[in-house]
Amino acid sequence: MTNFRNSLSKKLTAMNMLVSGGALLIAAVAFFASDLITFRANLLTNTSIQAQIIGSNAVSPLIFNDARSAETTLSALRASEHITYAGIYTSKGEFVAGYWRDTRSQPVQLPAPGAEQDQFSYFGKGQFELVRTIVFQDKPVGFVLIQSDLGAITDRLRTYGLILLSIVTASLIAALALSRLFQRAISQPIMNLAAAARLVSRKKDYSIRAKPPADPDEVSLLVAAFNEMLLEIQTRDSALQESELQFRSLADSIPQMAWMGDSTGSLTWYNQRWYDYTGTTPEQMAGWGWQSVHDPAVLTDVLAKWRAALSQGHAFEMVFPLRGADGTFRQFLTRALPLRDSKGQVVRWFGTNTDITEQLRSEEALRQTEKLAATGRLAASIAHEINNPLEAVTNLVYLARRQPANVEKYLQLADHELDRIAQITKNTLGFYRDSVSPSSVNISEVLEEVLALYTRKLQFKKISLACDFGKDIAIFGYPGELRQIFANLIANAIEALSEEGNLCIRATRIASEFGNGQRGVRITFLDNGSGIPPADRKRIFEPFFTTKKDVGTGLGLWLTLGLVEKHHGSLRFRSSVQPGRTWTAFSVFLPERPVAN
């Protein structure tokens, strides 16, 4: 219990004492004052009466000049213990007889008569003086002077003082006693309330309630309000805990790994998946400890990107490997977003890691499958290309056996056809093999090789072909992949063209693509087919997106883009669907050397 210098009890006590003491004091003083005034009046009256009596008794001594009987009359005043002197004087103010209470001394001089009045009195210092005119048959015959000390008053005052003192003391004691009582009634409940509040804060136990005072009053209102507030806090607290639990359940149930960090990028929390996958402990991972599960080869890049995101407050996205508890690395797509406060300052970072290892594998498998399928399609078209010459050779051999005379001619024709077959198989069966390492590739040659495959189709559709290949354009690249790129773009163009359309292929050397001094080759495929509708333009590079209902797998351009990127090149297109002026142009840029930008 803290003891304030001016505690509530002390204040109450002081107040009490002040009030009661003050009231009593004022009452007492008023009473005493009035009493004193009355007393003085009485004294005056009594003394006046005494003077009148003396005066009337002193008439004959005065007339007959009997000093002795005047003195006797005066001596009766001995009965009043407070009269110090009395004297009788002639009407001229001459002393006749006197009375002295104590020692006999000189008679007191009669004060000069003032205005015509019967009586004159005044209260002086320590004494009271009264002069009365003695009147006989309406004629003043003399004066009486009585002097009295104020001992009565002094005595009275003394008594009064004693009474006052005892009253004040009594009231003080009463006040103190009352304060004790008040303390119990007022301070105590308040102190209890304060103690309860402190207990709640310390123990963080919101089920505690303050005890209301025994008597319902304003303090009990305060206590009730306090308890209500505690209830509210308790409700909020359990709601918060509930929410926290929900969050944790959610965070632990999602398949991703998730984490949170503060504004400096130091991570403060990871969900259970993270610990399950990495087999680490919170102590190891806190702050920047996550670096230990990263592949050292890419860690520098990761840190650079993360720091950039932190300093600029923009979203972070990156694919990188993370080590699992078994020691193997899997690929994760990681995204992190900043959380800002009302002022726009970043206060927290939320991030997730999604395991895309399977997805990447599927994508790769898809690519391989598509390659196989493409090879299959190619094989089908090769089969057709070969079937015709084979049919011819079959017939020629049959005829050669039946017509020995014409054997020479038949065998010569058969030879021709066999050459044709050999050329086709040589060109195309080695076509789609993936190249292991890059080599110098002559672009014009590759384009012509691919075009040879589509000769029949071009003839079939009566498509006019215009080629403009620069001389000796070569890049350092992957031959098999380049053939695939060109084959896809040429096939798409042919597909888009109706009969008697135009296909124009141009290959030129480029000194500086995008103005960054990168040297390479640009190959453009221009057709005046139906064009690519604006709605489709964003999607043509998506896997499985196709406008060829039955024929297309929708993977061609997706694969082609991937192969172009393998060369660190670029693939762009423009198209027009204006009726009467439809066209599409695909443009591939391949740098001289496949180096990363």
Partner 1 sequence: MIKMMQPPAVPVFPFFGGPEGPPKSANDSATSQAGYDDGKKVKIIVIDDESLIAETVVEILNEEGFDAVSASSGLSAIELAKTVRPAIVLSDVIMPGLNGIETGIKIRETVPNCKIILFSGQAATVDLLEKARERGYRFDVLAKPIKPEHLISVIRSNLPSQ
Give me the least distance between CB of 412 and partner 1, in Å please. 9
Give me the least distance between CB of 454 and partner 1, in Å please. 15
393 binds partner 1 (CB under 8 A): yes
Q: Are 588 and 569 in contact (CB under 8 A)?
A: yes
Q: For strand 583-591 and strand 95-100, is the pairing parallel, antiparallel, or unpaired?
A: unpaired
423 binds partner 1 (CB under 8 A): no
Q: How far apart are CA 60 and CA 63, in angstroms?
A: 5
506 binds partner 1 (CB under 8 A): no
Around Cβ 492, how many Cβ atoms within 10 Å?
22
388 binds partner 1 (CB under 8 A): yes
Q: How far apart are CA 460 and CA 473, in angstroms?
A: 30
413 binds partner 1 (CB under 8 A): yes
Alpha helices in 407-539, H assignment, sequence order: 407-429, 443-453, 455-460, 479-496, 534-537
Give me the least distance between CB of 494 and partner 1, in Å please. 14
> Smaller CB distance to partner 1: residue 253 or 412?
412
How many residues of this chain bind partner 1 (CB under 8 A)? Answer: 27
Cα–Cα nearest to 134, from 148, 118, 114: 118
- From 69-77, 193-201, 235-243, 391-399, give the range in contact with partner 1 by CB under 8 A: 391-399
Give me the least distance between CB of 409 and partner 1, in Å please. 6
The Cα-based distances of 214 to 185, 227, 228 in angstroms read: 8, 16, 18
391 binds partner 1 (CB under 8 A): yes
Around Cβ 554, how many Cβ atoms within 10 Å?
16
> Smaller CB distance to partner 1: residue 420 or 568?
420
411 binds partner 1 (CB under 8 A): no
Q: How far apart are CA 377 and CA 428, in angstroms?
A: 12
Spatial neighbors of 164 by CB under 8 A, at least 6 apart, are: 25, 28, 32
Query: Among residues 384, 433, 548, 572, which is the contact residue for partner 1, using CB under 8 A?
Result: 384
Query: Encoding tokens for residue 208?
Result: 């505690």
Q: In what order do the strands lie in the sheet with 267-270?
A: 267-270, 257-262, 346-355, 329-340, 316-323
394 binds partner 1 (CB under 8 A): yes
Query: Among residues 19, 229, 380, 595, which is the contact residue for partner 1, using CB under 8 A?
Result: 380
Q: Which x/- pattern over 462-501 shows residues binding partner 1 (rule: CB under 8 A)?
A: x---------------------------------------
In the chain, the amino acid numbered 270 is: Y
184 binds partner 1 (CB under 8 A): no
Query: Among residues 227, 395, 576, 587, which is the contact residue for partner 1, using CB under 8 A?
Result: 395
Q: Is 254 helix (H, G, I), strand (E, B) or coil?
A: coil
Contacts to partner 1 by CB under 8 A? 380, 383-384, 386-388, 390-396, 398-399, 402-403, 405-406, 409, 413, 416-417, 420, 459-460, 462
